[in-house]
């Protein structure tokens, strides 16, 4: 399970450390990112504010965990806001299929929690 830290009433930060590298070199201050590391921003449809609800966090967490079993990736950082999230993901070497992971996570959330969250399945 991803560690969870409440940083503000409306913002939750998830963070996991990549075991084999540091993002910032302490001596030079330079940033070192793996070529398979992606910065992602995803926004809810019409910026509906459901991501920070208990159900929204549960749905997103389950969707990510489910997809990671078949399509692995490391979560280096994750910031969750009511209507969008930002994250850094590192995919395995020779695997750059970020879009399938995002699509499957969104499909899982919509299919399993869409009705409770008020998400219109026709547009998701």
What is the per-residue pLDDT for 34? 72
Across residues 51-67, what is the average pLDDT?
97
What is the per-residue pLDDT for 120? 73
For residue 70, the SS3 value is helix
Model-level pTM? 0.74
4-115 CATH, one of 3.40.50.300, 3.30.390.50, 3.30.70.1290, 3.40.50.360: 3.30.70.1290
Across residues 56-81, what is the average pLDDT?
96
Across residues 34-59, what is the average pLDDT?
92
Q: CA-to-CA distance for 30 and 26, rounded, in angstroms?
A: 8
Q: Strands of 37-43's sheet, edge to edge?
A: 4-8, 11-14, 74-80, 84-90, 37-43
């Amino acid at each position: 399970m991803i560690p969870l830290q409440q940083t503000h009433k409306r913002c939750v930060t998830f963070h996991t450390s990549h075991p084999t590298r540091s993002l910032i070199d302490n001596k030079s201050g330079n940033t070192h990112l793996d070529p398979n590391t992606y910065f992602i921003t995803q926004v809810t449809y019409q910026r509906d504010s459901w991501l920070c609800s208990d159900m929204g966090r549960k749905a997103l967490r389950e969707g990510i965990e489910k997809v990671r079993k078949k399509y692995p990736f490391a979560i280096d950082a994750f910031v969750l806001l009511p209507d969008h999230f930002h994250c850094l993901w590192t995919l395995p070497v020779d695997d750059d299929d970020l879009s399938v992971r995002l699509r499957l996570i969104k499909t899982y959330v919509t299919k399993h929690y869409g009705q409770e969250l008020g998400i219109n399945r026709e547009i998701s």
